[in-house]
Amino acid sequence: MNQAHLEDIPPEFDGDYPIRVRGLVNRFEDHVVHDGVDLDVRRGEIIGVVGGSGTGKSVLMRSIIGLQLPAEGSIEVLGRSITDARDDEDIDIRSQWGVLFQGGALFSTLTVAENVEVPLREFYPEITDDLRHEIARYKVLLSGLPANATNKYPSELSGGMKKRAGLARALALDPELLFLDEPTAGLDPIGAAAFDDLIRSLQETLGLTVFLITHDLDTLYAICDRVAVLADKKVIAVGTIPELLALDHPWIQEYFNGPRGRAAQDAQGRDANHVVPARAAEGLEQD
Partner 1 sequence: MRALAEFSIEPSDSGGGTLVFSGPMVVSSLGVIDTKLRAISEPVSEIDVSAVERMDTVGAWTVWRLSQQLDAKIVNCREEAERLIEAISKTDDNRESVRAPRLPLLTRVPDEVGTIVIGLAKGWLQVVGFLGQVVIAAGMMLRHPRRFRGKALVHQMELVGVNALGIVGLMSFLVGIVIAQQGAVQLQQFGAEIYTVNLVGRLTLRELGILMTAIMVAGRSGSAFAAQLGTMKLTEEVDAMRTIGVSPTEALVIPRIAATMVMLPLLGIYSSFLGIIGGAVLASLALGIPFFTFLSRIQEVVPLHDVFVGLVKGPVFGLIVAVAGCYQGMQVKTNAEEVGGRTTSAVVMAIFMVIVLDAVFAIFFTKIGWG
Q: Is 137 in the site for partner 1 (CB under 8 A)?
A: yes
Instruction: Quickly count: other Cβ atoms within 10 Å of residue 277's Cβ.
Output: 22
- From residue 201 to residue 230, the character string flagging contacts with partner 1 as x (rule: CB under 8 A) and all else as - is x---xxx-----------------------
Q: How far is the CB of 283 from partner 1 (least distance, A)?
A: 39
Could you say which DSSP state residue 11 is in? P
Per CB under 8 A, the list member of 13, 17, 124, 251 interacting with partner 1 is: 124
Per CB under 8 A, the list member of 28, 54, 69, 108 interacting with partner 1 is: 108
Cβ closer to partner 1: 33 or 202? Answer: 202
DSSP 185-208: TTS-HHHHHHHHHHHHHHHHHHT-
Report the alpha-carbon angle 35-39-45, nearest 5: 150
Cβ closer to partner 1: 64 or 208? Answer: 208
Distance CA 236, CA 112 (A): 39
**From its phi and psi, is residue 36 left (phi > 0), alpha (psi between -120 and 50) or beta?**
left
Per CB under 8 A, the list member of 55, 63, 150, 265 interacting with partner 1 is: 150
Cβ closer to partner 1: 197 or 271? Answer: 197
Per CB under 8 A, the list member of 29, 53, 86, 128 interacting with partner 1 is: 128
Please give the torsion angle defined by the CA atoms of residues 71, 76, 81 and 86, in that order, rounded to the nearest 10 degrees: -40
Distance CA 30, CA 212 (A): 28
- From residue 48 to residue 77, the character string flagging contacts with partner 1 as x (rule: CB under 8 A) and all else as - is ------------------------------
Question: For partner 1, which stretch binds (CB under 8 A), given 1-9, 16-24, 41-49, 222-230?
Answer: 1-9
